Structures are given as structure tokens and as C-alpha cells.
Homo-oligomer: A and B are copies of this chain.
Amino acid sequence: MIKILKNLLYLFTGKPAIPSGSSETLEMILNRRSCRSFSDAPISDSDINTILEAGRFAPSTVNLQTWSFITFTDAHWRETFGRPVPFKAPAAIVICADINRLQELMPEMLETPALNLSFAVFNAGLAAQNMTLAAEALGLRSVMLSETGRTGLLDFAFLREKLHLPAGVLPLTTLVIGHAESSLPGIPPRQPREAVVMETTYDNTSGSKLKDWFQQMFIGYKITHPLSSFDKQLEHYRSKMADAEHEIHKEFDKK
């Protein structure tokens, strides 16, 4: 019981260790949180363009820029998906890992699809975080979705059909962007530093350092989803995960 209370307390106090006197930029990077409630204030085209430029100028393996950004206004999203952008945000960008576009110029990409897709997925992550932070710097808020409203890799087959994605393109996440309606909730619990940060070699005891964190995640879920069954949610995920696994294998084995 003391352990549960300790973990409940941690939920509201686990924060990054930021040195005093940090720059505004550093505070922004370390305190960014996902937003799931947007006001109906619109976003300017200029802001969307700046966010896309942040993606486009992200670093990437051998500067290959193995990503595609598919943009949506709310109206475009409704036309494509028959519903509003998740959390009623004014704009969304589907971020894809993409080796398709390069295959004509670099046919050797076809010989090692799993390697190239791995790099493409990593690079898309670099671009996605650059875009996320550019949105923050513009005073906007965002969230990256992998499933909510069928928006990411867990709905690979569905998105491939809706967005006409060719082979070599993985829809990883939807970056939903807008103005926050209210103040953001606390930072969800992070794994303890000693489980994640290792010196010189991999620490095989790291898994055993996660039990408190796992309980914090569970407590956090119960607080933020009081009416929902954790097991039911897990069952829902698992059926989608099996489908997505099948689709990913098809891409990684393609030659």
C-alpha cells in the first residue's frame, strides 16, 4: 500500500532534472507534453509551412530524407476519413517512412528493404520531433497518434488504402496540431534513469528496474480513463497489433 501511494505521488512529481537558469529552448524541449484538447482557433498556412520546413530540414541517414508528409486541413480530413481530425484539431500531418520515392534513383534500396526501412523509420522519428518542437516554438501544441481514429502504424492496411500508399511507405503516426484549449495535464511517468541510461555496455538488469514505473503507468491509466477497462483496451490493441505485424512483414520481406 505504501508502494502504491509512493507511485501515485511519483505520477505528479516525476519531472526532468533541468539545471537552474536553463534557456527558454531547453525548458521547452524538456517540458513539452502531448495535447489532447484543442480550441477551435485556426492555424495559419505560414505556421503549417514552418512546421513542414522543420521536418524537411531534419537530419537523416546519408541525408537521404526518407520521409513523406501528407497534410490535412480539417476539411480534407473529413473528406478522406468521414470524421473530424482527432481531438477536433484544425490540422494534421501523416508522417510516413518512405523508401519508395528513392527506388528509381537508387535501385540498390530494393536489395536491403529491412535495413532501408529501419533507417527510414528512424529518420521519420527525427523529422517528427523537429516538427513537434517547431510547433511548440510557434506557440502551438500537438500530439502524435499511432491508433486513435485509425491514424498510424496500427492501422497500416486501412491507411495504405485511404492514402494510396505504395510499397515502401509506412504510415507511422499522425501529428495533430492546434491551439491548446486548456492547460495541459502532468507529464506521464518516465522509466527510471538507471533503467534507460547505461555506461559503456548494455545493462541486462534494466528490466528489473521497471516494476514501479509499470505500476505508475497502470495507476495513471485508471485515473485518466476511470470508465474504461484496461484489459479491454489491451485486447483491442492486440488484435490491431497482429494485423499490423502481418503488414510490416510484407514490407520488410519485399524484394
Contact = CB atoms under 8 A, between A and B. Distances in A.
A156 to B, nearest CB: 9
Contacts of A196: 55-56, 65, 67-69
A237 to B, nearest CB: 8
Interface string A45-70: 01001101111111101110101111
Interface string A23-63: 11110111010100000000000100110111111110111
Number of copies: 2
A165 B30 contact: no
Nearest to A156: B115
Contacts of A115: 153-154, 241, 244-245, 248
A214 B105 CA distance: 8
Contact of A198 (B70, B103, B249, B252): B70
A182 interface: no
Interface stretch (A2-10, A82-90, A186-194): A186-194
A7 to B, nearest CB: 14
Interface string A147-170: 000000110000000111110011
Contacts of A173: 122
Nearest to A67: B196
Nearest to A214: B105
A13 interface: no
Interface in A165-221: 165-166, 169-170, 172-173, 187-191, 193, 195-202, 204, 206-208, 210-211, 214, 217
